[in-house]
Structure 1
Amino acid sequence: MLNFFNKYSKYVVLLIFIFEIIYFGIPDYVQPVFVYVYLLFFGLAYLFAIIQDFFNPSEKTDILLRVVIIISSLVIMITSIYYKSTFSLIFSMIMFMAISFSLYLAIKQNKTNKQQD
């Protein structure tokens, strides 16, 4: 029972957060473009987490999803430069570096697994 709760709790919390944002609304000082870009980024990350947890994706699918998330973080970076949003720029740079490093580690691990076989 505890394993069931631990596995699904992260998805329930995210859905509650989404409904909370819809209920309270988006503040007026937030650019609508940021809302769409962040929804795209977190939606892709959410999709990546669901696929990782419930399905067993191939290495190509795993790498492709990481590349798409990296591209969406670059879109956030370009948007934040255009709208001069410092917090979004810092966030997008950190996410770009972190996801790129995780992609590097995944590719490196795939190469070492293929060499051992």
Structure 2
Amino acid sequence: MFAMTVLVSEVFIVLFASLVAHGLRLADLGLIWGVGGAAMLACAVCAGLLRHRAGYVLGSVVQVLLLAAGFLLPMMFVIGVIFGVLWVASVQLGGRIDVERKQRYAAELEHFRAQSA
């Protein structure tokens, strides 16, 4: 859930960054919207794939590509670093949260079974 939140937030941040780059004419408009649109689409697709391991792998690739987009649009370096850190934190903490949630569910189920027996 945490990783999905990062990716969905990233869609909006990339949209806003693309709008700023467009307004400031930081690069060719086709390049700005091509890179921005591809990044937004990739984030949305990865968010949908997070039920599978491939979603996390592709999400990591997207983070690297967004950082690399800084060579075309310099402000993407900042966005790439920020969301890269958030991505790593979400994968690590999200995994821990999922394990704890499963343990809690198992404990509650065991408690319920003990009470009903």
TM-score, length-scaled by structure 2 = 0.50
Deviation at 1:102, TM superposition (A): 1.1
Q: In structure 1, which of residues 25, 30, 45 is the aligned counterpart of residue 27 of structure 2?
A: 30
Deviation at 1:30, TM superposition (A): 2.3
Deviation at 1:107, TM superposition (A): 1.3
1:40 paired residue number: 38
Deviation at 1:88, TM superposition (A): 1.1
- Secondary structure at 2:83's aligned position in 1? helix
In the alignment, is the contact (CA less than 8 A) between 1:77 and 1:89 conserved in 2? yes
Q: Report which of the two structures shows the higher radius of gyration computed on alpha carbons.
A: 2
The one-letter amino acid of 1:69's match is: G
1:42-66 CA deviation, whole Å, 9 max, x = no partner? 11333355x4xxxxx7x752x5324
1:65 paired residue number: 55
1:110 paired residue number: 98
**CA separation of 1:112 and 1:96: change in aligned 2, threshold 3 A:** same
Q: Pick 1 or 2: higher relative contact order, CA cutoff 8 A, min separation 6.
A: 2
Deviation at 1:113, TM superposition (A): 3.9
CA distance in 2, matches of 1:84, 1:60: 31
The gaps in structure 1 that reach 5 residues or longer are 1-13, 52-56
Work out the percentage of aligned pairs sharing the same amino acid.
9
What RMSD, in angstroms, separates the aligned Cα atoms of the two structures?
Answer: 3.4
The gaps in structure 2 that reach 5 residues or longer are 1-11, 107-117
Deviation at 1:84, TM superposition (A): 6.7
TM-score, length-scaled by structure 1 = 0.50
2:4 paired residue number: none
